[in-house]
Amino acid sequence: MKLPEKVMLREVALRDGLQSLERFVPTAQKLEIIAALVAAGIRQVEATSFVSPRAVPQLRDAAAVMAGVPRDKAVYTALVPNLRGAQDAVAAGTDEIVVVISASEAHNRENIRRSIDESIAGLDNVFETALAAGVRVIGSVAVSFGCPFQGDVPEADVFAIVEQYVRRGAKSVILADTTGMADPIRVEKRVSTFREHFPDTRLILHFHNNRGIAMANLLAALQAGADCFDTSLGGIGGCPYVPRAAGNLATADVVFMLSEMGIDTGVDLEKLIAAARRLEEILGFTLPGQVMKSGPRDPRLAARICGVGGHHDGD
């Protein structure tokens, strides 16, 4: 297999993971987790969203979170839904902002109550505000691999939105499998097409694990040349429109697999597992991540970190 030597991970648990929870996580605990992630070697953190607190009360402390992050240790990103969100994110000292448009008309209307054309029309002011302040813009294309309302999403519809982002100055674009409808063949084709048509734009893949094949999709993306992925501590997260959504790719699971494949992430797995287990304590429920439970491959290290190993009978 032809695989990248190094992969960059963007941690999204603090935004994608927390936004759907019923309970508000105090700012101090959010900052504790961010500090633990940075100490483990994570260098890109999607820390919050500057959205109406009425819409997403779990992230109502966005400015306070951005004010408390350990600066000069990582790049901190925030999702913004509109110009007001972009203005607030810039004022809070955010390094990057993420804007989102769905590749399906039905999902865009359900998600942000706008048509795709209306969303595109609003991009100019957002990009101008951010770029004038030296804040980078990442364009995200939701439901890039399938829509829960429409079904299949034509490739041309996905890349038409990518083109709108790139034209306005986005240097990075996320293709998001928002509701877990991707498969390895579809992923390989989309990644290959993206790299062919947008060779100077950083591609980021965002896979949800609703149907249990997110890791297979990641492997297909790697084989097609992708080297940047969104992951979530403990695997928390998921689209709010999907009942019992399984969550995102767990950061420790991805770090473990890539490490075993000889791919460098720059992340300390032992520290990452400790951060995931601390997040589990804070949230008060079992997280879907697997490596945080079983530990790394070294049985002595696994026993020390997770208390696993020893004698057992049968399977």
Which residue numbers are catalytic? 239
CA quadruple 273, 276, 282, 287: dihedral sign: negative
Alpha-carbon separation of residue 187 from 4, 135, 225, 285, 292 (angstroms): 16, 30, 11, 32, 27
| 3-class secondary-structure state, position 134 | coil
Residue 135 contacts residue 95 (beta carbons within 8 Å): yes
- b/e per residue, 122-135, with b = 16+ CB within 10 A? bbeebbebbeeeeb
DSSP letter assigned to residue 13: I
> Tokens for 159?
């890349």
Q: Which long-range contacts (CB under 8 A, 24 or more apart) does 164-169 make?
A: 164/101, 164/120, 164/123, 164/139, 165/99, 165/123, 165/137, 165/139, 166/139, 166/198, 166/201, 168/123, 168/124, 168/127, 168/137, 169/127, 169/131, 169/137
Task: Determine the length of the chain.
Answer: 315
In the structure encoding, which two tokens stand for residue 15, read together? 């935004």
